[in-house]
Amino acid sequence: MMENAMDLDARPAADYPVADLVGLMNRGFENYFVPIQLNTAAFLSMIREDSVDLTASRVVLMDEKPVGIALIARRGWASRLAAMGIASEARTRGVGSWIVERILQEARERNDREMVLEVIEQNEPAVRLYQKYRFETVRRLVSFVGSEVKQGEGDELEEMDLRELGAMINLHGISDLPWQISGETIAQMNPPARAYRKGRSYAAISNPEAEHIVFWSVLVEKEGRGHDLAEKMIHTVMVYHGKKTWHVPALCPEEIGVVFERAGFEREKLSQWQMRIAL
Name the residue ranges covered by the structural domains of the chain.
Answer: 5-112, 143-272
pLDDT at 155: 61
Q: What is the DSSP string of the chain?
A: --TTGGGEEEEEGGGS-HHHHHHHHHHHTTT-SS-----HHHHHHHHHHTTB-TTT-EEEEETTEEEEEEEEEEETTEEEEEEEEE-GGGTTTTHHHHHHHHHHHHHHHTT-SEEEEEEETT-HHHHHHHHHTT-EEEEEEEEEEE----S------EEE-HHHHHHHHHHHS-TT--GGGSHHHHHH--TTSEEEEETTEEEEES-TTSSEEEEEEEEE-GGGTTSSHHHHHHHHHHHHT-S-EEEEEEEEETTTTHHHHHTTPEEEEEEEEEEEEE-
The answer to whether 49 and 186 are in contact (CB under 8 A) is no
- The residue with greater pLDDT, 1 or 252, is 252
pLDDT tens track for 119-128: 999 999 999 9
At 151, the pLDDT band (50, 70, 90 cuts) reads low
Nearest C-alpha neighbor of 85 from the set 102, 72, 68: 68
Of 98-112, 153-167, 231-245, which gets the smallest average pLDDT? Answer: 153-167
pLDDT tens track for 47-79: 999 999 999 999 999 999 999 999 999 999 999
At 32, the pLDDT band (50, 70, 90 cuts) reads confident
pLDDT tens track for 5-16: 459 999 999 999
pLDDT at 50: 97
Domain range 143-272, its CATH number among 3.40.50.300, 3.40.630.30, 3.30.160.100, 2.120.10.30: 3.40.630.30
pLDDT at 228: 94
Same fold, 5-112 and 143-272: yes
User: Would you state the CATH architecture of domain 5-112?
Assistant: 3-Layer(aba) Sandwich (3.40)
At 218, the pLDDT band (50, 70, 90 cuts) reads very high
pTM (2 decimals)? 0.94
pLDDT tens track for 103-114: 999 999 999 999
